[in-house]
Amino acid sequence: MFADRVENLVGRWFAPLRLVLVAVLAAGDLALMHRPGSVGDWAVVLAAYGAYAAAVRLPMPAVAVLSVLLATAEVAASAVIMPVKGMLAIALFELAVRRPARELSAGAAAFALAVACGRIGDPAAEVVPALFRVAVFAAVLLLGGAYIRSVRAVAREARERATEQERRRLAETRAARAAERTAIARELHDLVAHHVSSMVLRVGVARHVLPDSGPRVGEVLDDLHATGTAALADLGHLVAVLRDPSTVHDDQPPVEPAALPAALERVVEQGRRTGLAVEASVDPAVAGLDPVRGVTVLRLVQEGLANAAKHAGPGARVRLTARVDPDAVRLMIRDGGGGGRDRPASPPGYGLVGMRERVGLLGGTLEAGPAGPGWELSAELPLDGRPDPRPGAERLEARP
């Protein structure tokens, strides 16, 4: 990670920095060591700098142009041979870093040929050592550039291998999760849905074989049949989502925000049919909640009333309030207790855990615990979607 950041930083700033550095060095050389003697010398230097500036993107053309300029300066015995030769050397290094081997050979040959142009007419005893020095100098530049190029290639291949391994790992993880979802969907369909379907059929038969059982029994049977049918529909939807999670992106929310007050009223009526004496106060502003918070409020009310019916027992009085404030949605469900409190404690379930997870995902708080002779559940869902900054805000707290 650190090496990648350094490489990105160097790659981003190298081109402008090298242009400034070479310009400063060339200016110092021309001012202190190799002063141009004519307008032609200035023209050669400026042309060489322009060609060098293109070396980052066009290293081979830059080397070719600089070689021609160096040959021209050598033949004319110009005073600016050294600055031009220095820019050509750096451009040759750029060529070794960025281009394949065949272009390196051509660049080195052009460099040697440009130097040889200045030795035309010299004795062979002087030309051979001069060319050897050029060859050594060019070899050092080319080998250094080739080494850097190979290191970068190895690093790039390592990153590609790591990316491929990560891609494979993610694919294996997705496949394992898909297999788990498929197994869960199969069990839900073969076990839970089968039993619920059987119960719905039996309730339907009971409605026909007990036509004179009285209106109260008929209402209970109708309610059982409707509840079981809705449960089958929900199970079918859940099985479909487990088998193909992509369907959840295009799926409609379980309840539209505008229909949330009516959906809450139906849940309250269902709680009353179970024997609870529910007193509900629902803020009409819940119709303006977003789908995620609306579904969360609906599920909390369903679970809270179900727990009251299970533990407080028939006839228990329950107070439900749902209020939308400027900063949060506040929900409270409190029952007055009942005979159910005297029963042995039932095995712990996952209702409160599920409610805690729902509320925690929205950055809210949920508290549940005894309140006098009964039980109280309260939840707060922030409307801005940010987690509550208070310590332990997402923890489910049970009051003593």
What tens digit of pLDDT does each residue of 304-346 get? 888 888 888 778 899 999 999 999 999 999 998 765 444 444 4
Q: For residue 342, what pLDDT is reported?
A: 44
Q: Are 279 and 318 in contact (CB under 8 A)?
A: yes
Task: Tell me the whole-structure pTM to 2 decimals.
Answer: 0.47
Report which of residues 9 and 110 the model is more confident about.
110
Report which of residues 48 and 134 the model is more confident about.
48
Q: For residue 344, what pLDDT is reported?
A: 42
C-alpha of 183 from chain center: 28
Token reading at 101: 């081997």
Q: For residue 285, what pLDDT is reported?
A: 92
**Least reliable range by pLDDT among 159-163, 192-196, 365-369:** 192-196
Q: 389 falls in which pLDDT band (50, 70, 90)?
A: very low
**Least reliable range by pLDDT among 110-114, 128-132, 225-229, 267-271:** 128-132
**Residue 334, beta-bridge partner list:** 319, 376
Q: For residue 393, what pLDDT is reported?
A: 37
Q: 101 falls in which pLDDT band (50, 70, 90)?
A: low
Classify domain 257-382 by CATH architecture: 2-Layer Sandwich (3.30)
Q: For residue 338, what pLDDT is reported?
A: 65
- The one-letter amino acid code at 16 reads P
pLDDT at 219 exceeding the cut of 50: yes
pLDDT at 387 exceeding the cut of 90: no
Report which of residues 6 and 379 the model is more confident about.
379
**Residue 366, beta-bridge partner list:** 379
- Mean pLDDT across the chain: 76
C-alpha span between 30 and 334 (Å, rounded): 90
Q: Are 325 and 379 in contact (CB under 8 A)?
A: no
C-alpha span between 360 and 392 (Å, rounded): 11
C-alpha span between 107 and 70 (Å, rounded): 13
Q: For residue 283, what pLDDT is reported?
A: 92
pLDDT at 133 exceeding the cut of 90: no
Q: 252 falls in which pLDDT band (50, 70, 90)?
A: low
Q: For residue 345, what pLDDT is reported?
A: 47
Residue spans of the domains in the chain: they are 2-121, 178-248, 257-382
**Least reliable range by pLDDT among 28-32, 198-202, 292-296:** 28-32
Q: At what angle do helices 215-243 and 260-273 cross, to 10 degrees?
A: 130
Q: For residue 394, what pLDDT is reported?
A: 37
Q: For residue 284, what pLDDT is reported?
A: 92
Q: Are 290 and 324 in contact (CB under 8 A)?
A: no
Burial (Cβ within 10 Å: 0-12, 13-18, ≥19) of residue 167: exposed
Give, in order, the Cα–Cα distances in Å from 312 to each of 279, 317, 332, 355, 370: 15, 9, 16, 19, 12
Q: 4 falls in which pLDDT band (50, 70, 90)?
A: low
